Chains A and B, each alone.
Chain A
Amino acid sequence: MTLPVLGWQGLVILVVFGATLLIATYSTYAERVIAAFLQDRVGPDRAGPYGLAQPLADAVKMFTKEEFFPGGASRALFVFGPCLAMTTALMSSAVIPFGNSLKFGDTVIHLQGIEINVGMLYVFGMVSLGVYGIMIGGWASNNKFSLLGAIRAASQNISYELAMGLALIAVLMMSGSLSLRDITLQQSVPGEWQFWNIVKQPIGFIIFLVCAFAETNRTPFDLPECETELVGGYHTEYSSMKLGLYLFSEYINIFVASAVMSVLYFGGFNFPFQYELRDWLVSSRGLSADLAQNIIVLVGVGGMFAKIFAFIFFFMWVRWTLPRFRYDQLMRLGWTILIPLAIFNILLTGGLITAGIIPAVRQWWLG
């Protein structure tokens, strides 16, 4: 890699970082508006046009609140917890391919923070590390409600990570690669009919979706911060911007989970008929091949974000529709339903691949 390419790549990383923060910021606004609309209310509409300055007002509020340390709390860990949650949440968006590569002459820029061949494992690792942020924060608070919330978060994440990983294995069996970029590219191959993974892995997707809700601690699985039982869960004792970091990392996690689901099951930055569009641009508009490619890459980035926003909306839609699960129901769902179902899904996928049924079905479908 030459220096200018590195420079461009650095810029991409900065843009991804900034976009992640911006989206997380406006998720807080979107959450309120969506919640309000689902409940026939108006939502924030005072700060700025349509209340768009509301996140800024919230940030000012968070920063100017009193910084409170509970007595008997472990000060260093108390600060470390939210920092860790935030850092890991931000790091996990690094490997997500937001677009294909832009090409300017010899310079090729991947629209992705870093391309590593174990991208999926990296995301999983980061998400699991995020639980430590919650654990440490809950433990350091010296409060039994916080501790209970933290323990719940840990056990819930472990349980659901299993089912999530098993659902993922079925995808990996078909793709043969852990790189998120490869998985995306495989879902759309020029010149042949290729379906997004959702068509091939419907069961896997549902399992993954349910687990994503549990991993991001969203309703109906927001047991770690269950107000009715645990006051505020692991962040009961937190105030000011440290609380802000926890809430923020939750929204970043939602963003990352949405991005991962778009990549794994909804074709990532691919959109239908992209190669046809490119060829049409070249043949009847007379654009150069590079320019045409760059155009569909940019449209693809738009498509990727549209998918992500759709998922974020879905997260919020579900949150304001469903009540919270009881803890034993949560555990039973995870261990006795999702994990066996995921294993069954693996066997099914394996069987279909071995029997060569998927290519056969495609042949039949295309006549």
Chain B
Amino acid sequence: MQSLTNRAKLLEKKPMTLAERAYLPAIFQGLTITMRHFLRAMRKQQLTIRYPEETRPFSPVFRGLHVLKRDEAGRERCTACGLCAVACPAEAITMVAGERLKGEANLYREEKYAVSYEINMLRCIFCGLCEEACPKAAIYLQADKMAPPRYERDEFIYGKDRLVEPTDPAKRSKRGIQLTDEQATKLSGQLQPA
């Protein structure tokens, strides 16, 4: 039959030669191939990444575990506006707002602050919409940390104790999406009443 496309290939099924029927040459060939891989593995050239001792490099835009940022003076930025919770498609964020008392101005940046702030990491899909929604640059997804596995479900509900970054600036997450100095000044200029 004339093929229309001329792309058909005629397959010839030849009877096996004696060497092929004896299996041994082919087996020997196969053995040398696997031995090459064996020797390569002996020289420790496997591509395996031995997690958790070794980890892959994270992408700089990786969206990992959340962090609640502090400002330059070490005060919590979050003002419990709830925009992140509204933006969250997975409804993972809950918070209770409270009013800043006298003498707490060194703790909270705004007059209204989050008394409790919880993210359920089992619900969260790490989309980063909370980060985009936040008007106070308070919540970020770190690029170098993941929510680690745990045994109990309630351990996945992260409160402020685990979300707010340490007061010591040196201990804060260096990686991840950070404000440049320029952005920070601009932002603080907008927000601070003149």
1/0 per residue, CB under 8 A from B, across A26-41: the answer is: 0000000010111111
Docked-complex contact A38 and B48, CB < 8 angstroms:
no
Quick check: B50 and A38 within 8 Å, CB to CB? no
Contact B37 A37 (CB under 8 A): yes
A317 adjacent to B48 (CB under 8 Å) = no
- 13 new A-B pairs (CB below 8 Å) besides A34-B38, A322-B30? A36-B41, A37-B38, A37-B42, A38-B41, A40-B40, A40-B41, A40-B47, A41-B48, A42-B41, A42-B50, A206-B24, A321-B34, A322-B27
A357 at the interface (CB under 8 A from B): no
Give B34 Cβ to nearest chain A Cβ, in Å.
4
A-B contact pairs, 10 of them (CB 8 A): A37-B37, A37-B42, A38-B41, A40-B41, A42-B41, A317-B38, A318-B27, A318-B31, A321-B30, A321-B34
CA distance A42 to B48 in the complex (A): 7
Let me know if A317 and B46 touch, CB within 8 A.
no
Q: Is A80 an interface residue (CB 8 A)?
A: no
Residues of B within 8 A of A38 (CB): 34-35, 37-38, 41
How many Å lie between the Cα of A166 and that of B177 in the bound state?
76
Q: Categorize the interface residue count of chain B.
A: 10 to 19
A195 part of interface (Cβ distance < 8 Å): no
Chain B residues in 8 Å Cβ range of A344 = none
Interface contact B37-A317, CB-CB below 8 Å: no
Q: Which residues of A contact B (CB under 8 A)?
A: 34, 36-42, 45, 206, 317-318, 320-322
Chain A residues near B30 (CB, 8 Å)? 321-322
Taking a contact as CB atoms closer than 8 A, the residue among B24, B27, B46 that contacts A40 in the complex is B46
Residues facing A in B29-58 (CB within 8 A) are 30-31, 33-35, 37-38, 40-42, 46-48, 50
Residues of B within 8 A of A318 (CB): 27, 31
Chain A residues near B34 (CB, 8 Å)?
38, 317, 320-321
**List of B residues within 8 angstroms of A39 by Cβ:** 37
A317-B38 Cα distance, complex, nearest whole Å: 9
CA distance A42 to B41 in the complex (A): 8
Contact pattern, B 43-75, Cβ under 8 Å of A = 1, otherwise 0: 000111010000000000000000000000000
Residues on B lying within 8 angstroms of A by beta carbon are 24, 27, 30-31, 33-35, 37-38, 40-42, 46-48, 50
CB distance from A203 to the nearest CB of B (A): 12
Q: Would you call B46 and A41 a contact (CB within 8 A)?
A: yes
Residue of A34, A42, A206, A321 touching B46 (CB-CB under 8 A):
A42
Q: Once the chains are docked, how many angstroms separate the CA of A188 from the CA of B48?
A: 47
Which residues on A sit within 8 Å (CB–CB) of B41? 36-38, 40-42
Which of A39, A40, A41 lies at the interface centre, i.e. has the most chain B CB atoms within 10 A of its CB? A40
Which residues on the B side are within 8 Å of A34 (C-beta)?
A: 38
Contact of B31 among A37, A42, A45, A321 (CB under 8 A): A321
A321 to B37, CA, bound (A): 11
B30 to A, closest residue via Cβ: A321
- Expressed in whole angstroms, the Cα–Cα distance for A42 and B53 within the complex equals 14
Q: Could you say which residues of chain B place their CB within 8 Å of the CB of A320?
A: 34
CB distance from A41 to the nearest CB of B (A): 6
Q: Which residue of A lies closest to B31 (CB)?
A: A321
Q: Which residue of A lies closest to B39 (CB)?
A: A37
Distance (whole angstroms) from the CB of B90 to the closest CB of chain A: 35
Query: Which B residues lie within 8 Å of A206 (CB)?
Result: 24
Q: Which residues of chain B are within 8 angstroms of A322 by Cβ–Cβ distance?
A: 27, 30
B123 CB, min distance to chain A CBs, angstroms? 32
Residue ID in chain B nearest A37 by CB atoms? B41
Q: Which of A40, A42, A317 contacts B35 (CB 8 A)?
A: A317
CA distance A41 to B35 in the complex (A): 13
Which A residues lie within 8 Å of B33 (CB)? 321
Q: Give the shortest distance, in Å, between B35 (CB) and chain A (any CB).
A: 7
Min Cβ gap B49→A in Å is 10
Q: Which residue of B lies closest to A320 (CB)?
A: B34
Give bound CA distance, A42 to B37, whole Å: 12
Max chain B C-beta neighbours (<10 A), residue from A39, A318, A321:
A321
State the Cβ distance, B155 to closest chain A Cβ, in Å: 24
Q: Which 9 A-B pairs have the closest CB atoms?
A: A37-B41, A321-B34, A38-B34, A42-B48, A321-B30, A37-B38, A38-B38, A40-B46, A321-B31
- In Å, the complex CA distance between A317 and B48 comes to 21
Query: How far, in angstroms, from A37 to B48 measured CA to CA in the complex?
Result: 11
Give the distance to chain A from B36, nearest Cβ to Cβ, in Å. Answer: 10
CA distance A281 to B30 in the complex (A): 44
